[in-house]
Amino acid sequence: MTHKPKKRGRKKREESLPFWKTKTLAEMTQGEWESLCDGCGKCCLLKLEDWDTGKVDYTDIACRGLDTNSCRCNFYANRKKKVPDCIVLRPAMVKRFGWLPRTCAYRLVAEGKDLEWWHPLVSGDPETVHEAGVSVKGRAVSESDVDEDRIQDHIVKWPK
Task: Dump pLDDT digits (tens) for 104-135.
Answer: 999 999 999 999 999 999 999 999 999 999 99
Beta bridge partners of 67: 72
Check whether 3 has a pLDDT greater than 70. no
Look at residue 41 in the predicted model and tell me its pLDDT: 96
Mean of the pLDDT values across residues 151-155?
A: 95
Specify the pTM: 0.84
| Residues 23 and 32: beta-carbon distance below 8 Å | yes
Give the pLDDT of residue 13.
55
DSSP-derived 3-state class of residue 60:
strand
Q: Would you state the pLDDT for residue 12?
A: 54
Q: Give the Cα separation of 68 and 46 in Å (integer).
A: 13
pLDDT at 159: 78
For 38-96, the pLDDT digits (tens) are: 999 999 999 999 999 989 999 999 999 999 999 999 999 999 999 999 999 999 999 99
Q: Residue 34: exposed, middle, or buried by beta-carbon count in 10 A (0-12, 13-18, 19+)?
A: exposed
pLDDT band at 150, cuts 50/70/90? Answer: very high
